[in-house]
Amino acid sequence: MIIPFFILHHGCPNRCIFCNVHKIAGNNPESLTEQSFRETIHKYLSNTKRNTAHTQIAFYGGNFTGMEKEHQVKLLKFAHSYIQNGQVDDIRISTRPDAIDNEGLELLKRFGVSTVEIGAQSFVDEVLRRSHRGHSSSDVVHAMNMLKERGFKTGIHIMLGLPGDDRSGYEYSVRKTIALKPDMVRIHPTIVFQDTVLAELFVKGAYIPLSMSEALDMCTYALEKFSEAQIPVIRLGLQTNREMENPGSIVAGPYHPAFRSLVEESIFFTMASSMLTEEASTGKEIIFSLAQKDVSAFRGQRKKNLQRLKDTHRLAGITVKTDQTQEEGAVFMTVEGRTWKVRKFGTPERYA
Ligand code: SF4
């Protein structure tokens, strides 16, 4: 269980052109008091059985290690008291790569921070410059090396669709991220939020966001690469909140409240299509079998995937069966007694 706190823009030396942290973080207070901190912890802890969950306090948003040291110590002390009394296991923070130094890392270690997530966003320096990030890709490499030397778990955040980026730049960023071997990754498509420089550029026609289908395709590529490298993608798309859903908050861009589900659906569509093209399936009844957990992504929202498969391959009908014993992420297809199997990002194999 993660108990999240948002520090908003605290510690940010500049404003990145895409960032409206108030929309991303939702309705969070400008500054965290000890009372509001303890109330939130209490709310989370009272709803959880301590024995069953690894419990972590997280400071998200802003730039934790870029804040004044006194402010960092104040928040770390609040959190550390729950580690000392055994109610919380450890702490996670997110920060910028250029705000990491030896002294700061010693402080984090002392107060029980186990995980540091770095906002890299891109490894193309021109993209970072145009996004007004204020750091370079070499800062990310340096920060990751320091964190690993000191035994922190690490996470890297990357974005797609930033100004000046393109498919090859994004693929380069994915490869560079993998080379740094983080313990986890978060991927966010660039969304144009109200009250940002990016929104002004969009209105002037100087920035064109990715379409939804481009974003889905690029995220599918990234998921495949990170899956091959055995690096978990712990978030794909922004976590939705009420602020974000307010009319006008999102000006443009590939936003969907269940973005990851859309990516998963598109992966299952490709898997099923790859098997159907191995057979002369036109006009036939097809049976797909898969693990219970995968059924809704396979069907798609409002059964869109099934309809698309039926139309694209001109099938007579589709039956979806669930199998308790079947491995997750694999799809079996039976047509006229012949069975095929495909795993996520794999190629179809004749099974029986
Ligand atoms: S460093 Fe992060 S929180 Fe700060 S302005 Fe940039 S994106 Fe927003």
Residue 11 to residue 108: CA distance in whole angstroms: 15
Which among 8, 9, 158 is the best mutation to test ligand 1's pocket, defined by most ligand atoms within 8 Å of the CB?
Answer: 9
Q: Is 85 exposed, middle or buried (0-12, 13-18, 19+ CB in 10 A)?
A: exposed
75 lines ligand 1 (CB under 6 A): no
- pLDDT grade, residue 324 (50/70/90)? confident
In the chain, which residue ranges form alpha helices assigned H by DSSP? 21-25, 34-46, 69-84, 102-110, 125-130, 137-149, 167-179, 197-204, 212-228, 242-245, 259-276, 295-299, 304-313
The DSSP-derived string for 4-29 is: EEE-TTTT-SS--TT--HHHHH-S--
Does residue 71 contact residue 99 with C-beta atoms inside 8 Å? no
pTM of this structure: 0.92
Angle between helices 69-84 and 34-46 (to 10 degrees): 30
Residue nearest ligand 1's atom 2 by CA: 62
Question: 128 C-alpha vs ligand 1 centroid, how far in Å?
Answer: 12
Cβ atoms within 10 Å of 229's Cβ, excluding its own? 15
Query: 22 CB less than 6 Å from ligand 1?
Result: no
Nearest-CA residue for atom 6 of ligand 1: 16
Smallest Cα–Cα separation from 110: which of 130, 136, 90, 128? 90
* pLDDT per position as a tens digit, 205-249: 999 999 999 999 999 999 999 999 999 999 999 988 888 888 899
The pLDDT tens digits of the residues spanning 178-211 come to 999 999 999 999 999 999 999 999 999 999 999 9
Q: In order of start, what are the domains of the chain with their CATH numbers?
A: 2-257 (3.20.20.70), 263-350 (3.40.1260)
62 lines ligand 1 (CB under 6 A): yes
pLDDT of residue 299: 96
Ligand 1 center to residue 109 CA distance, Å? 23
Question: Looking at the predicted structure, is the pLDDT value of residue 151 above 80?
Answer: yes
d(CA 243, CA 252): 15
- The helix-helix angle for 69-84 and 102-110 (nearest 10°) equals 30
Across the range 9-34, mean pLDDT stands at 79
- 120 within ligand 1 shell (Cβ under 6 A): no
Distance 15 CA to ligand 1 centre (A): 6
Q: What is the phi-psi region of residue 14: left when phi exceeds 0, alpha when psi lies from -120 to 50, beta otherwise?
A: beta
Q: Predicted confidence band at 47 (pLDDT cuts at 50, 70, 90)?
A: confident
10 Cα–ligand 1 center, Å: 9
